[in-house]
Structure 1
Amino acid sequence: MAGKAKQLLDAGVDTLVVDTAHGHQESMISAVRAVRALDPQVPIVAGNIVAAEGVRDLIEAGADIIKVGVGPGAMCTTRMMTGVGRPQFSAVLECAAEAKKHGKHVWADGGVRHPRDVAMALAAGASNVMIGSWFAGRTSRPATSSSPPTAVTTRSPSGWPPRVP
């Protein structure tokens, strides 16, 4: 992790994102510490978590921005595969309050199906809302198209497995 982060810093990136489906675990905390040791000034975005304790641990490790959301995204299968997750509004509300105590911010990652979901995430305290599925089906973005004989044409988001309705 630190080696790749160093290469990115040497290439001139201005922010690093350290990301995993379940960010409140020792390997993630260690990774954030290692990245922070490379550059005390570069902003680090880390996640994903759903509880105040995860916010505290990642901030103490060196994160500046915490991504909140385990399972709410349209393409996320974490809840189905592991049985772990939390409703997005509750998670953002709790995590944003904790981050604010430390002078840090949270990003709501996933769970946006309607415009009101953006407003709710911001009202809960998120400083940013990540949106994927609204843009994933657009024909102007790069992806492969497929049309199985018995299905409608679908576009697989780059880097994700095909999903047939």
Structure 2
Amino acid sequence: MEVEIGIGKSGRRAYGFDDIAIVPSRRTRDPEDIDISWTFDAFTFDLPLMASAMDGVVSPRTAIDIGRLGGLACLNLEGLWTRYEDPEACYEEIAALEPEKATRRMQEIYDEPIKDELVGRRIEEMREGGIVTCASLTPQRVERYAQTLLEAELDVLVIQGTVVSAEHVSKDAARQPLNLKKFIREYEIPVIVGGCASYSTALHLMRTGAIGILVGVGPGHACTSRGVLGIGVPQATAIADAAGARIRHLDETGVYVHVIADGGMRTGGDVAKAIACGADAVMIGSPLAGAYEAPGRGYHWGMATFHPTLPRGARVYAGKKAALAEILTGPAHENDGTLNLFGALRTSMATTGYETVKEFQKAEVMVAPSLQTEGKALQRSQGVGMGR
């Protein structure tokens, strides 16, 4: 249903995770019977998780750690690890920067050119850890490094930008865009592509032959695209729209394309809501930036934070609160939902009676603007539990 914005403009109402609630069904299940595994292409993961391709979250070492814990970590091939032989000094400097100087100095740090030989080496370092290797590039650099990725035996490629469309138009003959459909269908490595935030964009990205799409424009804790550019869609609506596109694409082609909710999740409840809205898996960044093992020293920043002409991200402090294992699978020693994210997903599914992720996508969801505040006055006033 559209609402009138003004006489000359109307629009749909959209919802974020805080606006909705999952409704319990008539059945409950034993948590031990719940299957939260995720399978796409030839790969199966214990957790429906991708770690964001952000330098404060994923290094070759943490990619291995996350892989061994059952998830899939994505390394940014345009980040510090391919610009510097040893980026540890860069991390130390970024963590020590004063807030008012952070953006300008990070632009200078990221002005160092990408070194081609480091692209293959970082993939090799991850592969030696015995995990499924995953790395990201922006559309502008995909063709340049496509052969390098094949030679390095990368398992999964993510083509990622703030917004990626299946039809990028340029009048500049010297800047011909990547033909996503042609590239993906001819490439030997499975491709995930995004971000997107609408039904039509999701559907057209699915038609490129991608095995999965990233859904989310600007919801991340370190992202400022919504403020800088004024674009974005609240995540619950964006995911549900993409799930609708997936149904249509499946009906048209018989091919199931995975919907991966990218950003905007802080708690296990948010992860559960993303799945209930139709996601097959989630991509998270800031919750993992707070891991002891994360390379960012407790800081988190997005891929557009250091853009040379229009930065669209902030360096934020996520803190250093727990080990990766505690954040992902527990045990939790906090009551605010920020630890044991996937234990919370499992319990949410058990409580509402759904055995698998695909079944949980069919859960009833309702608009519930008072969900976060109803009966929580004492928690909010004391800054504990849901009041944090």
Which TM bucket (shorter chain)?
Answer: 0.7 to 0.9
Partner secondary structure for residue 153 of structure 2: coil
Equivalent in 277, 283, 287 of residue 130 of structure 1: 283
- Residue 30 of structure 1 corresponds to 178
Q: Return the offset for 1:37.
A: 4.7
The alignment covers a number of residue pairs equal to 154
- Return the letter of the residue paired with 2:214: K
- Residue 147 of structure 1 corresponds to none
Q: Give the alignment's TM-score, normalised by structure 1.
A: 0.81
Over alpha carbons, which structure has the higher Rg? 2
Q: Return the offset for 1:31.
A: 4.5
- Return the letter of the residue paired with 2:223: C
Q: Distance in 2 between matches of 1:31 and 1:14?
A: 21
Unmatched runs of 5 consecutive residues or more in structure 2:
1-141, 170-176, 250-255, 306-313, 319-388
Q: Distance in 2 between matches of 1:54 and 1:96?
A: 12
Q: Return the offset for 1:35.
A: 3.0
Q: Return the offset for 1:2.
A: 1.5
- Residue 150 of structure 1 corresponds to none
- Return the letter of the residue paired with 1:124: C
Q: Return the offset for 1:66.
A: 0.6
Q: Distance in 2 between matches of 1:20 and 1:85?
A: 13
Unmatched runs of 5 consecutive residues or more in structure 1:
145-154
Equivalent in 216, 226, 237 of residue 90 of structure 1: 237
Partner secondary structure for residue 96 of structure 1: helix
- Residue 73 of structure 1 corresponds to 220
Q: Return the offset for 1:137.
A: 2.0
Partner secondary structure for residue 95 of structure 1: helix
Q: Assess, with a 3 A threshold, how the Cα gap between structure 1 residues 8 and 139 changes in structure 2: closer, same or farther.
A: same
Q: Assess, with a 3 A threshold, how the Cα gap between structure 1 residues 35 and 10 changes in structure 2: closer, same or farther.
A: farther
- Residue 63 of structure 1 corresponds to 210
Partner secondary structure for residue 207 of structure 2: helix
- Residue 101 of structure 1 corresponds to 248
Q: Give the alignment's TM-score, normalised by structure 2.
A: 0.37
Q: Assess, with a 3 A threshold, how the Cα gap between structure 1 residues 139 and 132 changes in structure 2: closer, same or farther.
A: same
CA displacement 1:29-63 (0-9 Å, x = unmatched): 83523531542x53210000011111121122222
Identity %: 34
